[in-house]
Chains A and B, each alone.
Chain A
Amino acid sequence: MNKIIAKERLSQEVFRIELEAPHIARERKAGQFVIVQTDVDFGERIPLTIADADTAKGSITLIFQAVGVSTHRLAELEPGAYIEAVLGPLGNPTHIENYGHAVCVGGGIGVAPMHPIAQALKAAGNKLTVIIGARNKELVILEKEMRAIADELIIVTDDGSYGRKALVTEPLKELCEAEPKPDLAVTIGPPIMMKFCAETTRPYKVKTFASLNTIMIDGTGMCGGCRVTVGGKTRFVCVDGPEFDAHEVDWNGMLLRLGAYKPLEDAAHKELHESGQCRLDALADAVMAKAGLGKSGGAS
């Protein structure tokens, strides 16, 4: 049982929660994740990367997007409430050293797990460039935090509502073409974005890590649901990863595996909204009404 001590809605569908987890706060390192379960009897185990930790307070911060039934349930919890199960820190920490010039590419919610990695890379003496990509201005998160540590911060949005109107791969390519080219790229975000980041850096032979977000149950090596082909070998994201050489990952295979339960998940998600059970819809509507805007159409 882990108590939620703070909660913030970063955008319509993105939430930041801080929760009591003294052991995890103490042991976690950049790049590691936790498994969260809001109901130990019937709930799902959801892997979420740790965005921050405060060892003095004994707390960790998670940033997540309410994309399905289980993340909705999590988003509905308010400060003072308890999350029934939080397991971690899981996975291998990011290998941090002074590479020289490191480029961190975070897409959407992927900016959250990128933050501690960027922090650690900066602390290790790297020159740090951060690229934040989002669908629109509303969905840009952690700009202030990243600006505080990055030597250079580039923001791009799909619709041009903020920063450059571009995909993250555009500035990434420009950086690779510059002299000297970066020594390391790290990419975290939607799998398709990570795939294209890998393709962007490949011709320039810029070492690139990607942090994978596969389907997972136990997170400790037991189920093998998270397996992915890396360099022709089957690897488990939970115990061998979550970070792998992005140039070696079989992205297409991974994308197919991520879709395994898509029809079932979409049906469950649709039912949640249609049954009027989603309290986030009501909250979003209230916020929009207050701002004098129309109905939100609900969190996605």
Chain B
Amino acid sequence: MHDKTQLKAEAKSVLDGLKGKTLSNKDRMAIPVQDMPCQEAAIRAGNMEEVAIGYSEEQARVEAYRCLQCKNAPCISGCPVSIDIPGFLRLSAEGDFTGAADVIRKTNLLPAICGRVCPQEKQCQLVCTLGKALKSVDKAVQIGRVERYIADRERTSGQSPIPEIAAPTGKRVAVVGAGPAGMTVAADVRREGHEVVIFEAFQKPGGVMVYGIPEFRLPKAIVSEEADKLRAMGVKFELNTLIGRTIPLETLFKEDGFDAVFIGVGAGLPKFMNIPGENYVGVFSANEYLTRANLMRAWDQKRAATPIYHSKRVAVLGGGNVAMDSARMALRLGAEEVHVLYRRTREEMPARAEEVEHAMEEGIIFDFLSSPTEILGNEKGRVTGLRVLSYELGQADASGRRSPVAIKGSEQDVAFDTVIVAIGNDSNPLLAKTTKGLAVDKRGQVLVDENQKTSLDAVWAGGDIVLGAATVILAMGEGRRAAAAINRYLI
């Protein structure tokens, strides 16, 4: 059930029924989970607008009433930035959304973004007491949806308060990379009165939130509002500046007078499968495909100068959020048939459950337990298909995941004209290569201590350059920790 009007009407009648009642835990447990209103699958597959429309006020309040307000509040420790979740849910249930927004703002700068892209079912909602009591994570309080409602309400009211900034300290902090980690650090450090400059290689701030995550999942207007909020706080942006090339990292200290540096440059180099045919025309890294479509706006083919491949039959390799984004983007760009090939089964897919569900509703075809051994091409060097090997799940490995085992002789050739490789990223070597003394591990990820401090004096790092490919919220969590350490250092 995704119809906005109907969901709102139902929520209103539930809300009327709750009026004046003192709710017992049993009463709260009986309140139905509020579904997310969505654009219909058949319609949204042909446009770039947001899939999930967002709760109505009635739905947000009803959902918030479901929270048991349990004392141990496991949700708070399930949240990488430790939002006081029961606190904002209590206020939301009462209809005090301004108060709820104030609670969230204490620990989360980007709630409109987190409410949309966090994998809540693996974090706060996974450990929710209500979900446990009802024996299903799907029945946990829909914390992310309420968070989104609160953030959107504040956003569209035009009255987002600018956080208070302490008196100028005369200290300067350089943030390298304007993604979720960098933006979080900038806000937290700026609040203490330090001057902050964010250096970004791309022409727009936002990092993965502008080049990677598509418009239909995270409208770019929201990301640019968040950057504007930072500007209003006095944070400066230096776009089109690649630290390590345009300005060496050492120069930031030696000549530009910075007292501390945070590195949040993201994951970097796309991984390929290392199978034959990977350099045929029509094979793209998900980074390239999505950057063309999102940042360079190739989805708007009438206006954008950047071309994007015209595809009919698309194969996406991988099972994470980036694979879902690529598949759904290809569909919206006019592909007739889009397959996702994943070596394991739906159970093991790392993508957010909601994205997988949405992709399935939209008609993306999932070829589980299959992976290509070769990309096939013609004499013009263009992709014509994949040689696909089937797998079955074998014994569980040390991590408890059942590893896929190839079924001998099961290869089949399947026709495709486009292959999008979405199997993750290696670390970009550029900064480590151009910065003496910056310690990285053998995969190129920057090594940090428990406070995100690197091997270099006055340099901290966080987000995907430390974690490998992770999520927006984990990057923000690292950013918060780094910012706290930088603030302590600058006292």
Contacts and interface: CB of A to CB of B under 8 A. Distances in A.
Contact of B246 (A27, A223, A227, A228): A27
Report, as a range, how many residues of chain B touch the other chain. Answer: 35 or more
A27 B244 CA distance: 10
Contacts of B297: 41-42
A47 to B, nearest CB: 13
A221 interface: yes
B304 to A, nearest CB: 5
B311 interface: no
Interface in A238-263: 239, 250, 252-253, 256-257, 259-261
Interface string A210-244: 00000001101111110111000010100100000
A84 B239 CA distance: 10
Contacts of B268: 221-222
B245 A90 contact: yes
Q: Which of B266, B282, B307, B429 has the most CB of A within 10 A?
A: B307
B278 interface: yes
A69 to B, nearest CB: 6
Contacts of A42: 297, 300, 303-305
B245 A88 contact: yes
A217 B294 CA distance: 12
Interface in A242-300: 250, 252-253, 256-257, 259-261, 264-265, 268
Contacts of A40: 203-204
A259 B382 CA distance: 10
A201 interface: no
A217 B306 contact: yes
B203 A27 contact: no
B202 interface: yes
B429 A221 contact: yes
Contacts of A268: 305, 307
Contacts of A223: 270, 285, 287-288, 291
Interface string A31-69: 000000101111111000000000000000000000001
A85 B246 contact: no
B381 A257 contact: yes
A122 to B, nearest CB: 25
A27 B306 contact: no
A160 B298 CA distance: 43
Contacts, number: 123
Contacts of A24: 246
A238 B483 CA distance: 32
A256 B287 contact: no
A44 B306 contact: yes
A86 interface: yes
B292 interface: yes
B246 A260 contact: no
A73 B71 CA distance: 63
B223 to A, nearest CB: 14
Give the interface SS of chain A, mostly helix, strand, loop or mixed. Answer: mixed
Contact of A260 (B269, B272, B281): B281
Contacts of A84: 203
A23 interface: yes
A139 interface: no
A265 B270 contact: no
B73 interface: no
Given A217-B296, A257-B381, A265 B430 contact: no
A115 B304 CA distance: 33
Q: Which of A88, A218, A223, A253 has the most CB of B within 10 A?
A: A223
A227 B288 CA distance: 11
A218 B245 contact: no
Nearest to B269: A221
A260 B240 CA distance: 27
B428 interface: yes
Given A220-B430, A223-B270, A224-B285, A44 B240 contact: no
Interface string B243-286: 00111100000000000000000101110101000111110110
B171 interface: no
B300 to A, nearest CB: 7
Nearest to A239: B430
A216 to B, nearest CB: 10
Interface in B425-452: 428-430
B310 interface: yes
A86 B201 CA distance: 10
Contacts of B430: 220-221, 239
Nearest to B282: A260
A44 B309 CA distance: 15
Contact of B307 (A43, A228, A264): A264
Contacts of B204: 40
A224 B428 contact: no
Nearest to A73: B305
B242 interface: yes
Nearest to B292: A217
Contact of A224 (B201, B247, B287): B287
Q: Which of B248, B281, B300, B304 has the most CB of A within 10 A?
A: B281
Given A37-B203, A218-B202, A259-B281, 12 more contacts: A42-B297, A45-B296, A70-B305, A87-B241, A88-B245, A90-B245, A222-B287, A222-B428, A224-B269, A225-B288, A229-B279, A261-B309
28 contacts: A23-B241, A23-B246, A27-B247, A40-B203, A40-B204, A42-B300, A43-B306, A73-B305, A88-B246, A89-B245, A89-B246, A217-B288, A217-B292, A218-B201, A218-B291, A222-B270, A223-B270, A223-B287, A225-B288, A234-B274, A234-B278, A236-B269, A257-B279, A257-B281, A259-B281, A260-B309, A264-B307, A264-B310
Interface of A: 23-24, 27, 37, 39-45, 69-70, 73, 84-90, 217-218, 220-225, 227-229, 234, 236, 239, 250, 252-253, 256-257, 259-261, 264-265, 268
5 A-B pairs with the lowest CB-CB distances in the bound complex, closest first: A256-B381, A223-B288, A224-B285, A44-B305, A40-B203
